């Protein structure tokens, strides 16, 4: 397909503009996808606001956005698994396929991953993208491409729940009710965890957690979080903790509230990249710590969970924006975290 497309280009910190770029041509193993929805992720906002996450530094011009759903409009000559007109969820990370990690199936740990909107690789706040066909997962008729865009964050929550060994009979606590905290909640409930409590300091996010099925919420500004978790668990503490807030305070609270022998999954990144934690307490309690880097082998399961109604992913969205309104969208999400829980860009 020839022609030009609208692309939202980050030109500086806290600055983005719509530019015209050529529509990409799919290679033989790629498909061209007309993008319909892209979620606004916390990492997009962090790059927009600060220009970097750890060692990943934005060098403008740069395109943000990695949570995408759309429709296949052209297929490369070698593509057998997809045809024009199919609607897909895009998994944003292309890996080498030959390293030790890829061969073990832990492809999220590949050293040579090319991941949308992770510098220097451009993302997909744009109208079209050429992407590897094997990373474009068809969605069934009962799903929308908006839900397809949300499979990416959902995969993180499912990976976190699986890393924690989530199962029936457990009581879990999720620290943080941003997008990743909420998808962790949805994943834990779908995997049969009996009770899930969510902690945050923003009332609107806690209301959203209750709406999505939390068994209870705790406002860390108004309550003693550890005491409340102990109270809710009959003094025992939680069996599983999912830490998505990325702060020393919340991680330490989770350690204090954890039952002896339980598991804590670290998902959120701290601002500095470091935390000082009471390790002697972890030893006394024989806690297990697991960590999460994105996800692996989860898209088909996540799509099935949404398609079957086990996970109601669309309800995490609070705000919709048009691609032409991208600057206002990103500025609003940065400045209004208390009200905008999850924003989505409608591309076309």
CA separation, residue 262 to residues 212, 228, 285 (Å): 25, 18, 8
As a whole-number percent, the residues of the chain with pLDDT over 90 amount to 96
pLDDT in tens, 197-255: 999 999 999 999 999 999 999 999 999 999 999 999 999 999 999 999 999 999 999 99
pLDDT beyond 90 at 271: no
pLDDT beyond 90 at 272: no
pLDDT in tens, 274-321: 999 999 999 999 999 999 999 999 999 999 999 999 999 999 999 999
Per the rule left: phi > 0, alpha: psi between -120 and 50, beta: everything else, 84 is: beta
In CATH, the architecture of 157-291 is 3-Layer(aba) Sandwich (3.40)
Contact 166, 191 (CB under 8 A): yes
Strands 87-90, 67-75: pairing is antiparallel
Range(s) within the chain of domains with CATH label 3.90.180.10 = 4-150+317-346
pLDDT of residue 11: 98
How is residue 300 written in tokens?
């088909």
pLDDT in tens, 110-156: 999 999 999 999 999 999 999 999 999 999 999 999 999 999 999 99
Range(s) within the chain of domains with CATH label 3.40.50.720 = 157-291
pLDDT in tens, 28-76: 999 999 999 999 999 999 999 999 988 899 999 999 999 999 999 999 9
Check the CA dihedral 334-340-344-347 and report its sign.
Answer: negative
> What integer is the mean pLDDT of 337-347?
95
Nearest Cα residue to 250 out of 213, 219, 272: 219
What burial letters (b/e) apply to 164-182, b meaning 16+ CB within 10 Å? bebeeebbbbbbbbbbbbb
3-state helix vs strand vs coil in the chain, percent to 5: 30, 30, 40
Residues with Cβ within 8 Å of residue 248, at least 6 apart in sequence: 270, 275, 276, 277
Contact 267, 244 (CB under 8 A): yes
Instruction: Name the DSSP class of 118.
Output: B
Distance of CA 230 to the CA centre of its chain: 29
Quote the mean pLDDT of the chain.
97
Nearest Cα residue to 244 out of 314, 308, 188, 328: 188
In CATH, the architecture of 4-150+317-346 is Alpha-Beta Complex (3.90)
Cross-strand bridge partners of residue 238 = 258
């Amino acid at each position: 397909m020839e022609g030009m497309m609208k692309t939202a280009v980050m030109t500086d910190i806290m600055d983005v503009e719509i530019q015209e770029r050529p529509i990409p041509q799919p290679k033989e193993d790629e498909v061209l996808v007309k993008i319909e929805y892209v979620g606004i992720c916390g990492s997009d906002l962090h790059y927009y606001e600060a220009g970097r996450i750890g060692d990943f530094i934005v060098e403008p011009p740069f395109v943000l956005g990695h949570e995408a759903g759309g429709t296949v409009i052209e297929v490369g000559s070698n593509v057998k698994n997809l045809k024009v007109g199919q609607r897909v969820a895009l998994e944003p990370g292309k890996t080498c396929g030959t390293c030790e990690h890829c061969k073990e199936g832990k492809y999220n740990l590949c050293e040579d991953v090319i991941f949308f909107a992770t510098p220097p690789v451009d993302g997909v706040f744009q109208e079209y993208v050429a992407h590897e066909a094997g990373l474009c997962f068809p969605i069934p008729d009962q799903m929308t491409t908006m839900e397809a865009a949300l499979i990416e964050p959902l995969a993180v929550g499912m990976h976190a729940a699986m890393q924690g060994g989530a199962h029936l009979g457990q009581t879990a606590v999720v620290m943080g009710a941003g997008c990743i905290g909420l998808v962790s909640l949805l994943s834990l409930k779908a995997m049969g965890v009996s009770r899930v409590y969510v902690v945050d300091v923003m009332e609107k996010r806690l209301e959203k957690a209750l709406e999505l099925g939390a068994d209870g919420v705790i406002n860390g500004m108004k309550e003693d979080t550890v005491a409340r978790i102990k109270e809710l668990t009959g003094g025992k503490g939680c069996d599983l903790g999912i830490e998505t807030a990325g702060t020393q305070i919340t991680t330490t609270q989770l350690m204090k509230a954890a039952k002896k022998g339980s598991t804590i999954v670290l998902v959120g990144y701290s601002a500095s990249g470091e935390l000082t934690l009471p390790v002697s307490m972890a030893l006394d309690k024989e806690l297990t710590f697991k960590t999460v880097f994105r996800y692996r082998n989860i898209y088909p399961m996540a799509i099935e969970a949404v398609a079957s109604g086990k996970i109601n992913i669309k309800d995490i969205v609070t705000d919709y924006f048009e691609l032409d309104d991208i600057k206002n969208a990103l500025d609003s999400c940065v400045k209004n975290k208390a009200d905008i829980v999850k924003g989505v860009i409608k591309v076309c």
